[in-house]
Structure 1
Amino acid sequence: MTKPNDTIRVLIPLKVRKKNGRPKILPPANYLPSEDQTQDPHVLRAIGRAWGWRRRMDAGEFATIQELAEAVGLAERHVSRQLRLAYLAPEVLKRLTCGRAASAVSLYDLCFLAGEAWGEQVERAF
């Protein structure tokens, strides 16, 4: 048990800066992320969005990509391209989301990679 006069003080050297109008916590300058933190949040967000759109289209909420694009307020071309992420190979999705493997290609390239055979996707993505 601790006594009322016992105090533990923990100091964590962090800086708070605004980025895109939102506060962002910056780590110390000598901080190196561990290997388990290699996920790109933009890729994860795009994959999640693509799967959500795919589910909505499969449920019959939208008949065409154009209707979906109008509903979410984005360009049809953008929605069409990002929707392809829902059709990536299961191994690629697993490594991007659960395995924490960093992709060797950009998000833009991942969108076009979905049209290839699953075996080729794994080779080209990593």
Structure 2
Amino acid sequence: MTNFNDTIRILIPLKVCKKNGRAKILPPADHGPSADQAQDPHILRAIGRAWGWRRRMEAGEFATIQELAEAVGLAERHVSRQLRLAYLAPEVLKRLTCGREASSVSLYDLCFLAGETWQEQAERAFR
């Protein structure tokens, strides 16, 4: 058995928060992100899905969001909200997908940024 004096304690200041409904461990504030940090896969998947839906609607495959929602088996409200991701500013999309830069807002909030000006989108998404 070890004595109390033989025990080594290591304290790592981490913060646990929820992002997109999942627990996420955040590093200390003074810790910079690594060069290989990847973007949230939920955001990437949602952006890809939104662009696919947008192309299908522009091609005339679906006339309304309701038809699209029925075809993909999701609620019309969900499809409508997620479809907005296809209309984000090019700079925001580039930073999210290619720049490996983490967004400061959740996927849900990101869906509502499409209504803002392109400059406001970048400011709010990457505060």
TM-score range, shorter chain: 0.7 to 0.9
Unaligned runs of 5+ in 2: 1-32
* Alignment of structure 1 residues 108-123 onto 2, 5 Å: 108-123=108-123
Alignment match, 1:50: 50
Partner of 1:102: 102
Measured after TM superposition, the shift of residue 35 of structure 1 is: 3.4
Q: Distance in 2 between matches of 1:121 and 1:39?
A: 18
- Report how far residue 37 of structure 1 moved: 1.9
**Which residue is 2:13 aligned to?**
none
Q: Who is 1:23 aligned against?
A: none
Q: Secondary structure of 2:115's match? A: coil
Let me know the Cα RMSD of the aligned residues. Answer: 1.0
CA drift at 1:117:
0.4
TM normalised by structure 2 equals: 0.72
Shift of 1:34: 2.8
Give the whole-Å Cα distance in 2 for the aligned partners of 1:34 and 1:101. 11
* Mapped pair 1:64 → 2:64: yes
Show the 5 A alignment for 1:1-126: 34-126=34-126
Identity %: 90
User: Deviation digits for residues 31-90 of structure 1, max 9, x if unmatched?
Assistant: xx8332230000000000000000000000000000000000000000000000000000
Tell me the amino acid that sits aligned with residue 86 of structure 1.
A
SS of residue in 1 equivalent to 2:77 = helix
Q: TM-score, normalised by structure 1?
A: 0.73
1:74-111 Cα distance to aligned partner (Å, 9 max, x none): 00000000000000000000000000000000000000
Q: How many residues align?
A: 94
The structure 1 segments of at least 4 consecutive aligned residues displaced by more than 6 Å after TM superposition are none
